[in-house]
Structure 1
Amino acid sequence: MPHRSNAYEDDGLDDLPSPQPVHYAEQSLLGALLLDPHRLADIGALEADQFSNHAHGTLFHAMRTMPPPDPEHHRSDPAWLNTVLDAALPHARGLTASYLHTLIQICPAPKHAPTYAQMIRADHARRMLLMHAEHLAQTSTDVTLPNRAAATLAQADKLGQFLETLSGQFSPHPGSLPRTPLPQTPAGHSSEEALDEERLLLATAAAHPEELKEMRWLQPEDITHPLHAALWQCLTSLVHRGAPVDPVTVLWEAQHRGILTEGVTASDLIALVSTPTGSPEYWGERVLQRALLTRAFDVATRITTYAQAPANTPHQLITGSRRALADLTALRTRWQHSTTTPPAAPRAPRRPAVSRAGPPPRATSTGARALR
């Protein structure tokens, strides 16, 4: 093919620092197609935006757009190559005739074009999965969203739908679980807001234990502070047995469960469950929503770790990501149950009505604040 002068000849495309393996797959596929354009029909569904390199994707799009040449004529005449280059140049000014010639030379086996195309699809799938996981993490921590839980679950649905699409594109194979070591989960940290909400949950639950029968959607693992989780178990256990519930009976149950220690005194526990404000359902939903968002962020982190490891095959990414999303499913089901439970039959009011649409007045005792 004759050399054509171009002001952007020093494009650097064939001298990238530490190129990833997909770079060579893209070069090999393009070289195979430039040499034998008829192989375009053999590579399956592939789009220009699936290339990691913009210039490569632009060149591929030009090949798809231009009518294929006559095979015999193409062997001796570079007209089609020049046509493809002219079509690509307005969108990727770094391309040159010499680079197209280089692509043809470095392609090891044009007949392997379908395999090169599958490599490109696989790397694109990994990058897209990483993007979906990052969006899930960002949504779960975006405090500016008016309904962060709903937005987070919607993003989880998008990720799940993407995995469904991928599953139809890549065949399963043995050793389908990712081997990537997951980062160690840092020690749990509870914000002051989370601790306040948990204290108010415990106090209102102790004051109105009959409502706990309708709050099976809240589990101890949803509560951030270990002491608060243990006291929630005390409360639900008393209610389950039909035993009387008040601060003293809760204290007695806590003693039997070994919760009282040098750092947690009887007076501390009494104070913790003696200042009710508002509704158990409201505070329970707040606690559960926080757990849901935390779980979504953890799932996103896990999937991000998988996707950032190029050693994982597409099927390993699909399997590992589905298992990660499954960890969100049970908590999601409980969250949906808590927010869609039909209202109970009207009863005589026992305290001023509290709207679950907004937080009631907050009150936290000095003794309760000491338990952090």
Structure 2
Amino acid sequence: MMANHPHAEAEAELLDDPAPTPVVHYAEQALLGALLLVPERLKTIGPLEPEHFANTAHSALFAAMCTVSPPGPEVHRTSPVWPNQLLAAAQPQARALTAAYLHLLISVCPVDAHAPAYAQMVRSGHARRRLRQHAGFLAQAARTPGPDPAGVVLARADQLAVYIDELATTFPSHSGSMPRTSPAPKPAAEISTEAEDQERMLLATATAHPEELPRMRWLHESDFTVPAHAAVFACLTTLARRGAPVDPITLLWEAQQRGLLHKGFGPAEFFDLVSHPAGTPEHWGRKILQRALLSQAASVAARIEALTADQATSVHQLATGSRRALTAFSSTRARWHQATSDSVEKTPVPHATPSRTPSVRSPTARAGPASLTPARPGR
């Protein structure tokens, strides 16, 4: 006997183990079957919309049920008027619908009186898909920033928070409402050349102008992508808050006391890191904080997507877990608001002298520094 072709064997393995049909598909079939059997059940299923169905044909059929008036009970028992009317109304939107499939829906409905329970399952499936969609929008905004990346991310986060509140209100809590799903692994911090350069510029300008550091409490070590840069920033803030002198030498001494110097990062590398300032610390600090905001948003989206992928998690558990995922993001968001508010407060009045560079509301709109000489402290 001729041996099977490797490609044919691979196809056979795929056919033998198809992806399982989502459970909500059977709930949709049971609900539609119940409504085909007893149209009066439409009054008992609660608020439900065609878009709540995952299957396009099911959505078209339910839309027809909401628009076509059913016949009287006596006519319905003796004639297939209702199924025929529905088929005629739904087929233009779902050509795959056939009379045979309507009979299948009727046959797979266990108990038509359970239609309200089936409808609640359909609503739950839709809620899960919508939550995942909101998380996807947030992830997309965080990964593909445009002219105002922070503004878009915050708008998506607001939309997500509003939808989470709706879920918590619509779907009641129960015992064990906390999600059991393990947290998604935190995405690795983006260490790009641009991120490194921004952090180096922040450290150099803050060393040259330490008097601005007390106004930058909105920037944290955790916002940095390079651990060594975060450690040097901690040295800077410690010296500034202590009121100690700050310059490359005092900063080098503080770094030595903290054990930051090692082979590959000695005095020469340290001086190179902090000795070429350009621009202002606040400008670079907002750049770093914005990057941290986007990274935090991507982490929130990944966590929520992991929750929605666990079919054993109830909708209320999804709402609870998603709200907790937003907590850390809210902290970063508050710091971003403080950083941009500080910028707005320092915006000069229209009659200010043109030699003074105005601050702007969005850090992404500010052009990079044109001069490579250290900026003078603000008066």
TM-score range, shorter chain: 0.7 to 0.9
SS in 2 for 1:277: coil
2:48 is equivalent to residue 39 of structure 1: no
Task: Pick from 50, 53, 76 the counterpart of residue 51 of structure 1.
Answer: 53
Please tell me whether the aligned partners of residues 59 and 85 of structure 1 are also in contact (alpha carbons under 8 angstroms). Answer: yes
Q: Note the aligned Cα RMSD (angstroms).
A: 2.0
AA matched with 1:190: I
Q: What per-residue deviation string (whole Å, max 9, x for no partner) do you get for residues 41-80 of structure 1? A: 0000101111011111111111111113222331122212
Instruction: Report 1:339-354 matches (<5 A).
Output: 339-341=340-342, 342-343=345-346
Aligned to 1:258: 259
Task: Pick from 368, 374, 379 the counterpart of residue 359 of structure 1.
Answer: 368
Task: Pick from 107, 120, 123 the counterpart of residue 118 of structure 1.
Answer: 120
SS in 2 for 1:91: coil
Moved more, 318-327 or 17-26: 17-26
Task: Pick from 72, 75, 90 the counterpart of residue 73 of structure 1.
Answer: 75
Equivalents in 1 of 2:287, 2:357: separation in Å? 14
AA matched with 1:358: A
Equivalents in 2 of 1:363, 1:139: separation in Å? 33
- Pair 355,44 (structure 1): closer, same or farther in 2 beyond 3 Å: same
Please tell me whether the aligned partners of residues 354 and 360 of structure 1 are also in contact (alpha carbons under 8 angstroms). Answer: no
Displacement of 1:18: 3.6
AA matched with 2:101: Y
AA matched with 2:191: S
Equivalents in 1 of 2:48, 2:347: separation in Å? 55
Q: What per-residue deviation string (whole Å, max 9, x for no partner) do you get for residues 254-288 of structure 1? A: 11111112231122212211111110000000000
**Identity, % of aligned pairs?**
51
- Pair 183,362 (structure 1): closer, same or farther in 2 beyond 3 Å: farther
What is the number of residues matched between the two proteins?
343
AA matched with 1:292: L
Aligned to 2:336: 335
Displacement of 1:295: 0.6
Equivalents in 1 of 2:82, 2:188: separation in Å? 62
2:232 is equivalent to residue 223 of structure 1: no
Equivalents in 2 of 1:18, 1:269: separation in Å? 57
Please tell me whether the aligned partners of residues 198 and 284 of structure 2 are also in contact (alpha carbons under 8 angstroms). Answer: yes
Instruction: Report 1:134-149 matches (<5 A).
Output: 134-143=136-145, 145-149=146-150
For structure 1, list consecutive stretches of 5 or more residues without a partner in the other structure: 1-15, 347-351, 365-372
Displacement of 1:353: 5.4
Equivalents in 1 of 2:230, 2:93: separation in Å? 59
Displacement of 1:322: 0.8
Instruction: Report 1:136-285 matches (<5 A).
Output: 136-143=138-145, 145-285=146-286
Displacement of 1:103: 1.2
Q: What per-residue deviation string (whole Å, max 9, x for no partner) do you get for residues 116-136 of structure 1? A: 000011011111111111111
Equivalents in 1 of 2:256, 2:357: separation in Å? 33
- Pair 79,90 (structure 1): closer, same or farther in 2 beyond 3 Å: same
Displacement of 1:166: 1.4
TM-score of the two chains, using structure 1 as the length reference = 0.88
AA matched with 2:155: A
AA matched with 2:368: P
Please tell me whether the aligned partners of residues 278 and 354 of structure 1 are also in contact (alpha carbons under 8 angstroms). Answer: no
AA matched with 1:258: G
Please tell me whether the aligned partners of residues 182 and 302 of structure 1 are also in contact (alpha carbons under 8 angstroms). Answer: yes
Equivalents in 2 of 1:326, 1:296: separation in Å? 11
